[in-house]
Amino acid sequence: MTSTACFIIVSRNDIPIYEAEVGSAAKREDAAQLHQFVLHAALDIVQDLAWTTSAMFLKAIDRFNDLVVSVYVTAGHTRFMLLHDSRNEDGIKSFFQEVHELYIKILLNPLYLPGSRITSSHFDTKVRALTRKYL
């Protein structure tokens, strides 16, 4: 069940505002950087693709070796990007939807500046629990 996955949230200005690395990768150090590099490289593709469809979930948009990049774009053009090796598309869609709800609650906090880093440990705990549940 535990698979490698890297989840980042990128704001509309292409600034990463949240990162979470989950999974049982053997070599953690360079794997983490590689994952983030792959996800950032996929941002260009996301930008083009986001305007072609009105759906929020963009499914798998890029591949790297055996890892797949799936992306979910919110109404405010905040991108949730997931690098994973599982094939469970429905699970990933539900994961994105639940993270979206958590993200909305963060946005409703008047003391949170949209586009700034998400530092809430509560959010972090919840997201990690969701990754264990769906991935």
Partner 1 sequence: MPPAAPRSGDAIFASVERVNAELFTLTYGAIVRQLLTDLEEVEEVNKQLDQMGYNIGIRLIDEFLAKSNVSRCVDFKETAEMIAKVGFKMFLGVTASVMNWDADGTCCSIVLEDNPLVDFVELPDTCQGLYYCNILSGVIRGALEMVAMKTEVTWIRDMLRGDDAYELQVKLLKQVPEEYPYKDDE
Residue 133 interacts with partner 1 (CB under 8 A): yes or no: no
Among 13, 27, 75, 110, binds partner 1 (CB under 8 A): 110
Contacts of 101-107 with CB under 8 Å at 24 or more apart are 102/126, 102/127, 102/130, 103/9, 103/74, 103/78
Among 57, 112, 124, 128, binds partner 1 (CB under 8 A): 112
**Between 12 and 51, how does the x/- string for binding to partner 1 read (CB under 8 A)?**
----------------------------------------
Q: How far apart are CA 2 and CA 131, in angstroms?
A: 9
Helix, strand, or coil (residue 109): coil
CB of 65 to partner 1, least distance (A): 38
Phi/psi for 28 (5° steps) reads -75, -35
Residue with tokens 């599982």: 86
CB of 94 to partner 1, least distance (A): 23
Q: How far apart are CA 124 and CA 20, in angstroms?
A: 8
Give the binding range for partner 1 (CB under 8 A) out of 19-27, 60-68, 69-77, 118-126.
118-126
**Between 78 and 107, how does the x/- string for binding to partner 1 read (CB under 8 A)?**
---------------------------x--
